[in-house]
Structure 1
Amino acid sequence: MSDTFSFLLGSDPTGQPVGQPLRLTNRHGLIAGATGTGKTVTLQRLVENFSDAGVAVFATDIKGDLCGLGVAGQPTGKVAERIASMPWLAHQPKAYPVTLWDIQGRSGHPLRTTLSEIGPLLLGNLLELTDSQQAALYAAYRVADREGLLLLDLKDLKALLNYLQGNPQALGEDAALFTRASAQALLRRLASLEQQGAEALFGEPALRLEDLLRPTADGRGMVHLLDARGLVHDAPRVYATFLLWLLAELFEQLPERGDAERPLLALFFDEAHLLFNGTPRALQERLEQVVRLIRSRGVGVYFVTQSPGDLPDTVLGQLGMRIQHALRAYTVREQKALRAVAQGFRPNPHIDTLATLTELGIGEALVGTLDEKGTPAPVQRVAIAPPQSRIGPLGENERARLLSDSALAGRYERTLDRESAYELLAERADDAARVKEASSASASPVTDMLGDFLQRTVQSAVRQTASQLGRQLVRGLLGSLRGSGKR
């Protein structure tokens, strides 16, 4: 079979296979369509393709049924009929290697990052800060960098904000940006974040990218699924912020790969509109930049949403694979959007793209792929090939078995709380209190206590320096202090 079909999607109306060269699947993609048209099954098919090709996958499981990848399918009825209509498919029911993740740590391995890694721009977006509050947050992060105060979790940032209120001289030239009102507003926003349960996202051990990229013993790519059933409804900004951080971290950490025979990682972001809705222009520009450049790191990004109009045009223009399931158009606005979707495909003289969009059945889609030369191929009507794993969710016992058998079992479950801003600032406060007490004592005891204080100060500085040498305050492209957020 030619390389054109090395990444099979399904068959055209004549029964011929439709696909795209695997080496071009880092050019990103889109899966769109109305509810109930088959987006999740299409997503499942693409995930299986990547895993079989040795490409790692990270996907968000919005409805809880994508985890069926972890057990073999049992095709019956119309699914079995479609498989029979594709003799070239070599369909074989099988389970795929799945690792389950959950930010809360209930239904999967806990998924964390640190505040130092996420940076002030993304954190400000999560907290929905005003310009003045964002400026105060940037100032606090600069102090943390300058003084070696590692920000791991929310208590570290709260300790830093309280410290700066009492010690404004530590801000240096940024003192005018950090007002008491802004600090109090930041503390209130952090308290609100804690009430949403978002504190579970921040801390250690943080996610290690090598754990995402490591293949299985049989050479297949590991499929990592984030359980987002509650998260996407209860805390959509936490959901979006984590995905934005992951994109930035991959861009920051992965080396350039150039043109390779296959991607290194495929990302599938369901409810993709949440990544763009309400984000500041500065952040959106960085996201668009990362999507444009990250393919050179061997990462393909696939957005899953109801309508292509949910994504900015600058992002849509970068998507090499487009899979459009049926759309409904009852109003003038919906009909206008339908025409825009049809115009997004390269025309095919044998297909009325606009009419077909409303005629597609479940599991059918209009598909635009890239040909051997990397140019868009004419749109085709495609019957999506069924997945080889189960179409449907796992039971609780099946999920528990996957977790217990996971190669990462026990690695992320136990939290770490190493010395960071909270502990260092508490130590400074204790030392300051001792000095204050010593000032009221006699001269000789004062000298002794000051000597002890200086010794502890030197020891603390040595610890901070060693800690700084042993770590890097990584914040990626999206979280950089050099972001162009307004002050």
Structure 2
Amino acid sequence: MSMTSNSTATGNRETSVQDIVRPAPVSAAQVLADEAAHNGGAFEAEGAYAGAFGRTLFDDRSSEDGSLTIVFPAERIGDIPSQSLMHIISQPDGHEYIATVTAGPFCEPDGLSATAPQLVVTAVRGHRSMPRHHGRLQATIIGEKTSKGIIPARLRPRPNSPVHLVSSSDVSSILNLSGEIRLGLLNGHDDVQICVDSKKKSVLPRHSAHIGTTGGGKSTGVGRAIYEFQKAGICVIVFDVEGEYTALNKATDNAEMGEVLSQRGLREDGVANTHVYRLVGTAAANEGHPSSHEFTLQFDQISPFAFAEIMDLSDPQNERLIQTYEIAKQLMRELEIFPTKADERGVLDIDEFDSGWPRMKLEDLRYLISGIIAIAEQTSEGEPQFRASQFYGHWDKAKKRICSYFGGGEASQETDKKSKDKPEKLRISHPISWKALMAKISRLQRLQIFDRGTQHAIDYKTMLAAGRVNIIDLSDVENMDVRNLAIAEMLRGFLAQQQVAYDAAVKAETTPLMTNVIIEEAHEFLSARRIQKMPTLRDQLMKIAKRGRKRYLGLTFVTQSPNDLPDDVLGLVNNWIVYKVDEATIRRLKSYIPNSDDSLWGLVRSLGPGQALVSFTHMRRPVIGAIDPSPAQLLMTE
């Protein structure tokens, strides 16, 4: 006898399911409702459980310290965005914890595995039936909440403890995101701003890094930072190698940026008090800027050892440079160029690993090197024709100094009248190496960027002022050695002036000037490949970084190639804004950014333009945020 799903056999007769299973009468439902009302109404959680969205689960053998599993009803899954903060009240001990979502939320069926055959078959066959299910997430404990604030957690929440979502108004205070410098919005919380307190010495004087691939939003994020720094009264110096920031004085004309700004309640606006500087003889990226200045490099401000490293001189060339430098110092003393009687006391304080010999010019070296080559090859007895040198017109004295230095003595070039012997041969070896050094210095000098007079000298005192933005336009400097020489000299000058300003503030018992130096394309200046061969420059940078931080001068490194930066530089960084980067960069940065768990790096892998991982020293943990775009105009080169 055949049977169908809608019938059953009883004797010789088929009875339908509807004849056996009948709907409950309406009166039965009313009886249950009356009974519930009589006993206090529908169930409502009490005490710590009131208003909770979920509960903690038991730990198992796969559990990890600081991490726990939370389950909650399916209807609450849409209420828990990534990075949500949770307040857990452990029961029955009453300890309170703050935790954050690090994985999930996920959907799980009640009482079944997510891969149970009946669920798989139902889905594959296209049926619309949905089993009862719940939400699950993994959370990481940030700390324990006490009357004194949030402290490191000593214990774990007990199983079945209630879990509450932290309101947006409390998220900022828990994560320490407050301050007057706005960077952007916290992902998942459109009403929570990521901010920095410029008044805390423990934050901005610490060094920072903006890291991200091309197109990730790095430049517009830097533009926003400059705008906010200026409003906060911070002095900003930007080494702009592409000329992107030379139009910051104007409001942005980018429609897409304008739309994002409008959505966030912000407006297009130019950066106030901007001033653009460029090397003499180079073209301006923005010819229409109202405050544009030319500057020249001063050779006497650059350590000869750093100069040799930046110019990538070979060991023989480096040795010959130092030899020429020593002869120049002796000749300057003899000609009373430096030191004069008034300078004698300060001579012992000169550190040539930090700066050059006062009043020495690059043309002075060319003059002497040309003379040394002529003497070695005995090709000319005439004076080198470098009229811009301070030594020009004093060839007799210069020649004696050269001969004396290389072992011939003052009389070595004169024939002994009694013996009629040949003059003593000077120990000037390898003229080819001298010529190679001469070629490099001449090529640099032809750019005419050194020692061009006091009218183009860098006025560090004027540049370092509260709320002033100094943009160093290096976009027309194609020679990377020249660019690096300019950055090295100016960094030293800024630190020296910052020291003066800091000492004056301490003496006057006022707040010191806060200064931030932004180095674009930092990997070109501080290449890991070259920095190992540049110990003097590396030591100078480390000194600037350590001394500057204590004197309210912070460095900001901007790069799309952080793997080209040496460990020494990355180790200086305390504040990070990391846009989308590749896997190799993530592996390297993990060891430098504190409290950054795998869940955060998982989000970094899929960041969109303008999104970034933000980690500053004052924050309780790194966060993912949507960085505000620049309100000012950028001359985009990407």
Question: Is 2:367 the partner of 1:159?
Answer: yes
Given the two structures, how large is their TM-score scaled by the length of structure 1? Answer: 0.68
Q: Structure 1 residues 236, 281: closer, same or farther in 2, change over 3 A?
A: closer
- Name the CA distance, whole Å, in 1 between partners of 2:229 and 2:404: 51
State the Cα deviation string for residues 190-240 of structure 1 (Å, max 9, x = none). Answer: 123245x3x32443232121121145xxxxx22121222232xx2112111
Q: Structure 1 residues 40, 290: closer, same or farther in 2, change over 3 A?
A: same
Please name the residue that 1:183 is paired with: 434
Please name the residue that 1:66 is paired with: 245
Q: What is the Cα deviation at residue 172 of structure 1?
A: 8.7
Please name the residue that 2:525 is paired with: 275
- Name the CA distance, whole Å, in 2 between partners of 1:365 and 1:321: 13
Please name the residue that 2:484 is paired with: 240
Please name the residue that 1:123 is paired with: 307
Please name the residue that 2:548 is paired with: 294
| Residue number among 467, 473, 484 corresponding to 1:227 in the alignment | 473
The answer to whether the 8 Å contact 1:95/1:389 transfers is: yes
| Residue number among 622, 629, 636 corresponding to 1:386 in the alignment | 629
Question: SS where residue 614 of structure 2 aligns?
Answer: strand
State the Cα deviation string for residues 165-190 of structure 1 (Å, max 9, x = none). Answer: 55565269863796562433321111
- Name the CA distance, whole Å, in 2 between partners of 1:53 and 1:262: 14
- Name the CA distance, whole Å, in 2 between partners of 1:286 and 1:154: 21
| Residue number among 32, 40, 58 corresponding to 2:219 in the alignment | 40
- Name the CA distance, whole Å, in 2 between partners of 1:305 and 1:173: 49
Q: Structure 1 residues 75, 83: closer, same or farther in 2, change over 3 A?
A: farther
The answer to whether the 8 Å contact 1:67/1:393 transfers is: no
Given the two structures, how large is their TM-score scaled by the length of structure 2? Answer: 0.53
Question: SS where residue 449 of structure 2 aligns?
Answer: helix
The answer to whether the 8 Å contact 2:461/2:497 transfers is: no
- Name the CA distance, whole Å, in 2 between partners of 1:353 and 1:174: 63
Q: Write the letter of the residue equivalent to 1:156.
A: D
For the pair shown, the structure with the greater C-alpha radius of gyration is: 2
Q: What is the Cα deviation at residue 152 of structure 1?
A: 5.5
The answer to whether the 8 Å contact 2:498/2:553 transfers is: no
Greater relative CO, 1 or 2 (CA 8 Å, sep 6+): 1
The answer to whether the 8 Å contact 2:578/2:612 transfers is: yes
Q: Structure 1 residues 262, 81: closer, same or farther in 2, change over 3 A?
A: farther
Q: What is the Cα deviation at residue 272 of structure 1?
A: 0.4
Q: Which runs of 5+ in 1 are unaligned?
A: 216-220, 329-334, 395-487
Q: What is the number of equivalent residue pairs in this alignment? A: 371
- Name the CA distance, whole Å, in 2 between partners of 1:262 and 1:17: 27
Question: Is 2:106 the partner of 1:106?
Answer: no
- Name the CA distance, whole Å, in 2 between partners of 1:126 and 1:203: 21
Superposition map of 1:57-456 within 5 A: 57-74=236-253, 76-77=255-256, 79-85=258-264, 87=265, 91=267, 93-103=269-279, 104-107=281-284, 108-146=292-330, 147-148=332-333, 149=337, 153-163=361-371, 166=375, 169-170=400-401, 175=406, 179=429, 181=431, 182-194=433-445, 197=447, 199-205=448-454, 206-215=457-466, 221-231=467-477, 234-255=478-499, 257=502, 263-277=513-527, 278-279=530-531, 280-283=533-536, 284-328=538-582, 335-347=583-595, 352-371=599-618, 377-392=620-635
- Larger mean CA deviation between 135-144 and 161-170 belongs to 161-170
- Larger mean CA deviation between 277-286 and 1-10 belongs to 1-10
The answer to whether the 8 Å contact 2:613/2:622 transfers is: yes
Q: Structure 1 residues 200, 348: closer, same or farther in 2, change over 3 A?
A: closer
The answer to whether the 8 Å contact 1:124/1:134 transfers is: yes
Q: Structure 1 residues 301, 155: closer, same or farther in 2, change over 3 A?
A: same
Q: What is the Cα deviation at residue 293 of structure 1?
A: 2.2
Superposition map of 1:461-476 within 5 A: none
Question: SS where residue 367 of structure 1 aligns?
Answer: strand
- Name the CA distance, whole Å, in 2 between partners of 1:377 and 1:387: 26
Q: Which structure shows the bigger proportion of residues in strand conformation? A: 2
- Name the CA distance, whole Å, in 2 between partners of 1:6 and 1:178: 63
Q: What is the Cα deviation at residue 62 of structure 1?
A: 3.0
Task: Quote the RMSD (CA, aligned, Å).
Answer: 3.1
The answer to whether the 8 Å contact 2:230/2:236 transfers is: yes
Q: What is the Cα deviation at residue 248 of structure 1?
A: 2.0
Q: Which structure shows the bigger proportion of residues in helix conformation? A: 1
The answer to whether the 8 Å contact 2:208/2:575 transfers is: yes
Q: What is the Cα deviation at residue 242 of structure 1?
A: 1.1
State the Cα deviation string for residues 16-48 of structure 1 (Å, max 9, x = none). Answer: 111222132111100110001111111111111
Please name the residue that 1:12 is paired with: 186
